């Protein structure tokens, strides 16, 4: 996509999606009973294909320490912290954090405690990615978020040969740090779990960077006379996902990990989601083979219509001219099964049933910016929404023939995000590509499955590390 197309997006904005309604239990979100859960686990247990865990890990941890940066500024100017503030409690409770050591922190003033966490002379966490931050403390060790993904991967992303395939997308500045971290820890986890790790890394393609603009939508020009380009957001990672290959791909954010004492539910539900993927994919492949063999009986076509509606909430418009062709096009897509948790105030994309450009419906994970909240009908749908997406996906990226899909062909380029940012004190507007699990997967076949809240444990701020799930 060239600059002119992006500039047009700034000028026109992105259209709101037309909704049929929020996806809720019984209408878009599956709630699996114990029998269905066990059946899914059985599908997963007999699966012999390759597996890979894909972890977006390029995000810097600076936002995680935002309040500590502000507190350091206050102390540096000679001020004092409000005793009831998060920062003051952080200083008081520093011994509870996994990165605390007597050697580094004992005898430190409040300013020194904070500076030793975020400053370059100490841990430098203000400049490191989340994956390299110590998240959890155990009896004999401490672990980074990166290590917790190694632990998880050994439990559900292991193949027949006990090889655990993991792929992390990281920023170029932090690549070497991740490689050093991997080299320092992988052997102890290989020994513990009896596996061999095959870990790969990639960076976001610089060609996906997007031109920034001024408030009047003209290109933002830096002091050196060149236009400012900004990373295109996590939606650009569809290219990275397109470069890896496995029969099943697990997708999960770097900061969504839990202390190992609570890991059982996470592992169980990851396997259930994968089992559901295998079950529904088997049906898709069977139908594709029947259609390709020339079978177009009214009974078969009606059965496929019911299947698409039941599993993916795909309903074709009444005026379809060539039913067999339409059904084939709907079946012949990548598949994702997405965990959905009950909305209890956590941020996250919401599950909705949307109308596609051809008039059919599909399941979509939508962000607030994609919804016309000023429309009373849409506002009512949002209010009636019960779940949100914790970025807990299991993906299939192959056709029934074994051929791999070209994932960039299934992106909805009419979706995206425009946000207010700044550069060296100057305000600007930035644009992000369709989100990885939003518009970048818009034209996948999608299933939503309810999962328990315990499987979602993000660390958005450093204070989250003192939540029970991380202690």
| Domains by residue range for the chain, with CATH | 3-59+156-470 (3.90.550), 67-128 (no CATH)
For residue 40, the model assigns a pLDDT of 98
For residue 432, the model assigns a pLDDT of 83
CB 178 within 8 A of CB 201: yes
Structure tokens at 313: 């909430």
Return the SS3 of 240.
helix
For residue 1, the model assigns a pLDDT of 54
468: exposed, middle or buried (C-beta count within 10 Å: 0-12, 13-18, 19+)? exposed
d(CA 48, CA 396): 14
In terms of phi and psi (left: phi > 0; alpha: psi -120 to 50; beta: otherwise), the region of 444 is beta
For residue 301, the model assigns a pLDDT of 96
* Residue 192 pLDDT > 60: yes
Average confidence score pLDDT of the chain:
92
User: How confident is the model over 307-356, as pLDDT tens digits?
Assistant: 999 999 999 998 888 999 999 999 999 999 999 999 876 555 689 999 99
CB 225 within 8 A of CB 192: no
> Facing residues of 201 across strands?
168
* Residue 414 pLDDT > 90: no
d(CA 51, CA 250): 8
User: How confident is the model over 223-246, as pLDDT tens digits?
Assistant: 899 999 988 877 889 999 999 999
Q: What are the CA-CA distances from residue 179 to residues 144, 338, 404 (Å)?
A: 13, 30, 29
User: How confident is the model over 3-26, as pLDDT tens digits?
Assistant: 888 988 889 888 888 899 999 999
Rg (CA), the chain: 24
For residue 416, the model assigns a pLDDT of 83
User: How confident is the model over 252-301, as pLDDT tens digits?
Assistant: 999 999 999 999 999 999 999 999 999 999 999 999 999 999 998 999 99
H or E element, residue 423: strand 417-423
For residue 349, the model assigns a pLDDT of 64
d(CA 173, CA 237): 17
CB 157 within 8 A of CB 189: no
The set of long-range contacts for 459-462, using a CB threshold of 8 Å and a minimum separation of 24, is: 459/64, 459/130, 459/135, 459/145, 459/255, 460/63, 460/64, 460/255, 460/347, 461/63, 461/64, 461/65, 461/66, 461/67, 461/86, 462/64, 462/65, 462/68, 462/90, 462/97, 462/117, 462/125
User: How confident is the model over 88-142, as pLDDT tens digits?
Assistant: 999 999 999 999 999 999 989 999 999 999 999 899 999 899 999 999 999 999 9
For residue 471, the model assigns a pLDDT of 84
Return the SS3 of 284.
helix
By percentage, how much of the chain surpasses pLDDT 90? 71
Nearest to 391 by CA among 262, 288, 289, 255: 255
* Residue 444 pLDDT > 60: yes
Phi, psi of 56 (to 5 degrees): -65, 120
For residue 58, the model assigns a pLDDT of 82
pLDDT band at 205 (very low <50, low <70, confident <90, very high): confident
By percentage, how much of the chain surpasses pLDDT 70? 99
Helix count and strand count (H, E) for the chain: 13, 19
> Facing residues of 363 across strands?
353
**319 or 197, which is more confident?**
197
Nearest to 72 by CA among 81, 63, 64: 81
pLDDT band at 406 (very low <50, low <70, confident <90, very high): very high
Segment 43-63 mean pLDDT: 90
Q: What is the pTM of this model?
A: 0.92
Q: Give the number of other CB atoms < 10 A from CB of residue 100.
A: 17
What does the DSSP 8-state code read for residue 121?
T
> Facing residues of 163 across strands?
196
For residue 17, the model assigns a pLDDT of 86
* Residue 465 pLDDT > 90: yes
Q: What angle do CA 236, 178, 62 make, to 5 degrees?
A: 65
Locus of tokens 């001020």? 79
CB 360 within 8 A of CB 316: yes
CB 360 within 8 A of CB 314: yes
For residue 183, the model assigns a pLDDT of 98
Largest Cα separation within the chain, whole Å, is: 80
């Amino acid at each position: 996509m060239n600059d002119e197309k992006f500039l047009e997006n700034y000028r026109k904005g992105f259209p709101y999606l037309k909704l049929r309604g929020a996806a809720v239990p019984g209408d878009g979100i599956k709630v699996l009973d114990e029998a269905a859960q066990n059946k899914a686990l059985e599908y997963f247990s007999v699966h012999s294909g390759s597996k890979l865990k894909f972890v977006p890990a390029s995000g810097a941890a600076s936002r995680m320490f935002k309040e500590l940066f502000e507190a350091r500024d206050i102390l540096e100017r000679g001020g004092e912290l409000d005793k009831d503030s998060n920062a003051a409690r952080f200083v008081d409770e520093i011994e509870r954090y996994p990165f605390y050591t007597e050697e580094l922190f004992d005898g430190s003033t409040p300013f020194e405690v904070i500076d030793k966490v975020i400053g370059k002379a100490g841990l430098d966490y203000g400049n490191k990615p989340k994956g390299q931050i110590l998240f959890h403390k155990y009896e004999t060790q401490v672990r980074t978020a990166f290590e917790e993904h190694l632990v998880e991967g050994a439990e559900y992303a292991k193949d027949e040969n006990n090889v655990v395939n993991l792929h992390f997308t990281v920023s170029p500045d932090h690549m070497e740090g991740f490689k050093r971290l991997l080299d320092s820890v992988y052997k102890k986890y290989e020994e513990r779990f009896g596996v061999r790790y095959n870990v790969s890394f990639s960076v976001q393609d610089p060609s996906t960077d997007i031109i920034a603009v001024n408030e009047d939508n003209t290109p933002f020009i830096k002091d050196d006379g060149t236009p400012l380009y900004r990373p295109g957001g996590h939606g650009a990672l569809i290219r990275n996902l397109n470069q890896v290959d496995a029969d099943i791909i697990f997708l999960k954010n770097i900061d969504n990990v839990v202390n190992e004492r609570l890991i059982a539910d996470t592992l169980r539900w990851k396997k259930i989601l994968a089992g559901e993927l295998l079950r529904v994919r088997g049906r898709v492949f069977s139908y594709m083979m029947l259609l390709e063999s020339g079978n177009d009986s009214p009974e078969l076509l009606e059965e496929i219509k019911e299947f698409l509606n039941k599993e993916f909430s795909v309903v074709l418009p009444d005026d379809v001219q060539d039913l067999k062709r339409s059904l084939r096009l709907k079946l012949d897509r990548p598949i994702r099964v997405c965990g959905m948790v009950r909305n209890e105030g956590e941020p996250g994309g919401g599950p909705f049933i949307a109308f596609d450009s051809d008039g059919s419906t599909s399941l979509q994970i939508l962000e607030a910016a994609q919804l016309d909240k000023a429309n009373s009908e849409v506002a009512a749908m949002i209010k009636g929404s019960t779940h949100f997406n914790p970025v807990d996906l299991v993906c299939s990226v192959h056709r029934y023939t074994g051929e791999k899909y070209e994932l960039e062909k299934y992106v909805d380029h009419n979706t995206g995000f425009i946000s207010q940012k700044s550069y060296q004190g100057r305000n600007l507007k930035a644009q992000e590509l369709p989100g990885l699990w939003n518009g970048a997967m818009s034209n996948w076949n999608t299933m939503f499955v309810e999962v328990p809240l315990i499987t979602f444990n993000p660390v958005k701020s450093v204070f989250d590390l003192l939540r029970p799930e991380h202690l």
